[in-house]
Amino acid sequence: MDLEIKKTIAAEVLWLSDKTSQRYVASKAQVSNALISQLLAANWDQISDGMWRKIQSNLRLDLKWKVAETSNLKEMYHYCESAQKHALAICISDNAGKGKSNGFKFYDRTNKNVIHLECKTSWSKKSYVTQLLITMGVVPVGTTEEMLEQFNEQIKRMHSPLLILDQADKLKDPQLDLFMEFFNDHEGHLGIILSGVKALEKRIERGRQRSKVGYDELYSRIGSRFISLDPIRQVDVSAICEANGVHDDDDKRAIYLSCAGDLRRVRREIQKIHIDRSATCKVSA
């Protein structure tokens, strides 16, 4: 692995250790505390490239992309801040590519006591709770019930915690049902954000219409409201381009016109421009 990439990862690990603790970073990265100590002490000779990649992946370090403060990023920050400060439960349900996950990552990076979990369809109830603990920096041990008790005890110790269940539309009902337990057990102390694509809103509404157990209560807890974000604007695409090395006005306009309101497309188009530039430079050389 390139030395500059290692330096960047080490700087991120140091920053996160200062923000939380070295033990938290080791748990979240799913490596030993001793390995993190070696990394921070710049004793890198015994750390394999595979371990560097594991740390980068588990800490979700995106080293090649710069965050731009788009209007939706600012709005997401506001919702996260409000939910955390006032221990609110809210639901954000909107199309993919609006910047929801990036907004959560940015808020998590800049604030304490945030538990940001990206959910997966394949999770069982136990694997879901396991991932919750790992994200909190707690080593998961025991049965599902024992791990839930660990989770609850950890939440009680935290000051103004915020739980973000990103891509919550992927959770099966038994996992989604835990939302009510978390809310009821920690009402007034824990802020919770459910977030997903439009299917999340449709699923909750369908559950209410069919009188499925828990769905009316869930709807009530999120304030009987589904939050959507503003359409992607040209000024937002321009800001993202500028932050990531695309400065030509024609390029920025072309990317905006082709992205169809999807920020993932914006990223792909920016990457294409850099690939084309790199290829042109090699040919010229």
127 plus 21 within the same structural domain: no
Expressed as residue numbers, the domain containing 259 is 234-284
Question: Average per-residue pLDDT in the chain?
Answer: 93
Rounded Cα distance between 57 and 67, Å, is 18
Q: Considering the domain boundaries, does residue 31 fall inside one?
A: yes
128 plus 189 within the same structural domain: yes
**Domain stop point among 190, 221, 252:** 221
247 plus 133 within the same structural domain: no
197 plus 96 within the same structural domain: yes
Kindly give, in sequence order, each residue whose CB lies less than 8 Å from that of residue 259, ignoring residues fewer than 6 positions away. 232, 237, 265, 266, 269
pTM summary value: 0.89
Rounded Cα distance between 71 and 235, Å, is 9
245 plus 271 within the same structural domain: yes
252 plus 170 within the same structural domain: no
Rounded Cα distance between 84 and 154, Å, is 16
**Domain stop point among 180, 199, 221:** 221
- pLDDT of res. 63: 83
- pLDDT of res. 31: 93
Q: Considering the domain boundaries, does residue 145 fall inside one?
A: yes
Rounded Cα distance between 218 and 53, Å, is 39
Q: Considering the domain boundaries, does residue 249 fall inside one?
A: yes
Domain count of the fold of the chain: 3
79 plus 210 within the same structural domain: yes
Q: Considering the domain boundaries, does residue 93 fall inside one?
A: yes
Write the pLDDT tens digit of every residue in 58-79.
988 888 889 999 999 999 999 9
Q: Considering the domain boundaries, does residue 228 fall inside one?
A: no
Write the pLDDT tens digit of every residue in 181-203.
999 999 999 999 999 999 999 99
Write the pLDDT tens digit of every residue in 16-48.
898 888 988 998 899 999 999 999 999 999 899
Handedness of CA 24, 87, 229, 223 (dihedral sign): positive
In terms of Cα–Cα distance, which of 50, 159, 55, 166 is closest to 105? Answer: 166
Residue 238 has pLDDT above 70, yes or no: yes
Q: Considering the domain boundaries, does residue 63 fall inside one?
A: no
176 plus 277 within the same structural domain: no
Rg of the Cα atoms in the chain: 21
Write the pLDDT tens digit of every residue in 103-144.
999 999 889 999 999 999 999 999 999 999 988 888 899 999
Q: Residue 240 corresponds to which amino acid?
A: I
Q: Which residue has the tokens 């923000």?
A: 19
DSSP letter at 141 equals -
Read off the CATH number of the domain in which 138 is found. Answer: 3.40.50.300
Nearest 10 degrees: Cα torsion 276, 280, 281, 282: 100
81 plus 209 within the same structural domain: yes
203 plus 256 within the same structural domain: no
214 plus 242 within the same structural domain: no
- pLDDT of res. 285: 52
